Amino acid sequence: MTRTRPLVWALREQPSLFFGIAVIALLALLAVFAPWLSPFDPNDLNPLARMKPPSGEHFFGTDALGRDLFTRVVWGARVSLIVGVAVSAISMVLGVLIGMLAGYFRCSTASSCASWTASWPSPTFCWPSRSCRRFAAAWPR
């Protein structure tokens, strides 16, 4: 039995997995080849080409400042991919660190480790500080 057999089976059984891999691969290709795919600079302003519809020159049209939307989407894919990879790497490092600490301090059950990590404050709930107070006030006691 080869190693590719389970992968082919998984792709056949779950078409959403294939679709997700295809979207990420397309995003990665767009990000890598952005300088060669985009005909314009993403920040160039062209007031004469404001709000143009899609055409042969501007594939997705232009925005209110005359910037080419296809170019901005391609260069934006590059930024999105960099941010996604960076966040995944940071999360992986923190997860490994937390797992090592949990093993070192011998968290006896998974629930105690889960409650320990869940007790950390989340920046999404604490921005701005007024919403953090609302969240703390609404928390059941």
* pLDDT tens across the length of the chain (141 residues): 556 678 778 888 888 988 999 998 998 998 899 999 988 999 999 999 999 999 999 999 999 999 999 999 999 988 988 999 999 999 899 888 888 887 777 765 556 666 666 666 665 555 555 555 555 555 555
Helix (H, G, I), strand (E, B), or coil: what is residue 68? strand
Sign of the Cα torsion 5, 6, 8, 9 reads positive
Residues 124 and 100 in one domain: no
**Domain assignment of residue 31, given as a range:** 4-106
Residues 96 and 119 in one domain: no
Residues 95 and 118 in one domain: no
Looking at the structure of the chain, the number of domains it has is 2
Cα atoms in the 13 Å half-sphere on the side-chain side of 103: 6
Whole-model pTM: value is: 0.64
| CA 67, chain centre distance (Å) | 24
Residues 91 and 138 in one domain: no
Residues 136 and 79 in one domain: no
- Indicate the length of the chain as a whole number: 141
Residues 94 and 28 in one domain: yes
